[in-house]
Amino acid sequence: MVQDKNYRRVGEGLSGLPTYTGEIVVRTRGENDVVDITDKVESYVARSGVKNGVAHLYVIGSTAALTTMEYEPGLIEDIRNAMERIAPRNAYYKHHERWGDDNGHSHIRASIIGPSLCIPIREGSLTTGTWQQLILLELDTRARERRILVTVIGD
């Protein structure tokens, strides 16, 4: 489930340009959930009225990541397989010893991909390719409620 919260204009940033903030809340199904958030972000951009600027996204938490990719079943499976090769679930992680957790691989995967995206806005639309969607990757071992902060800046 994807919902938005608290979208509003917060004034001008340091640049003097209008700045809008909001939050997308996503309830994930747990490890390897791949969620397309493109429509929600496009909605924020449209509501802002910004014609040229940037949309910045940041997911709160150290076991989730944001990226862009073609959102199709084959590539979704490929990204899951790549994550397993990069940081295998059943490998040894010191994090497990320290905290008694089972998600050391989740932290490694999220650290490699990263928690944020910055997408140019041109003529009122996100500047993405035809087959390029904005994606939340849930990398933790359990279902989570993820908060993605959205900031739109521009004129």
Q: What is the C-alpha to C-alpha distance for residues 106 and 88, in angstroms, rounded to an integer?
A: 9
pLDDT at 6: 66
Query: Domain residues for 120?
Result: 2-154
Pairing of strands 34-36, 2-12: unpaired
How many domains does one find in the chain? 1
pTM of the model: 0.90
Q: Do 78 and 142 meet the contact criterion of CB atoms below 8 Å apart?
A: no
Q: What is the C-alpha to C-alpha distance for residues 7 and 9, in angstroms, rounded to an integer?
A: 7
pLDDT at 80: 98
pLDDT at 7: 63
Question: Tell me, what CATH number does 95's domain have?
Answer: 2.60.120.460
Non-local (6+) Cβ contacts of 14 within 8 A are none
Query: Mean pLDDT per segment of 10 residues, for the chain of length 155 residues?
Result: 65 77 97 98 96 98 99 98 98 92 97 99 98 99 98 96
- Among candidate residues 89, 23, 34, 35, the one with its CA nearest the CA of residue 59: 23
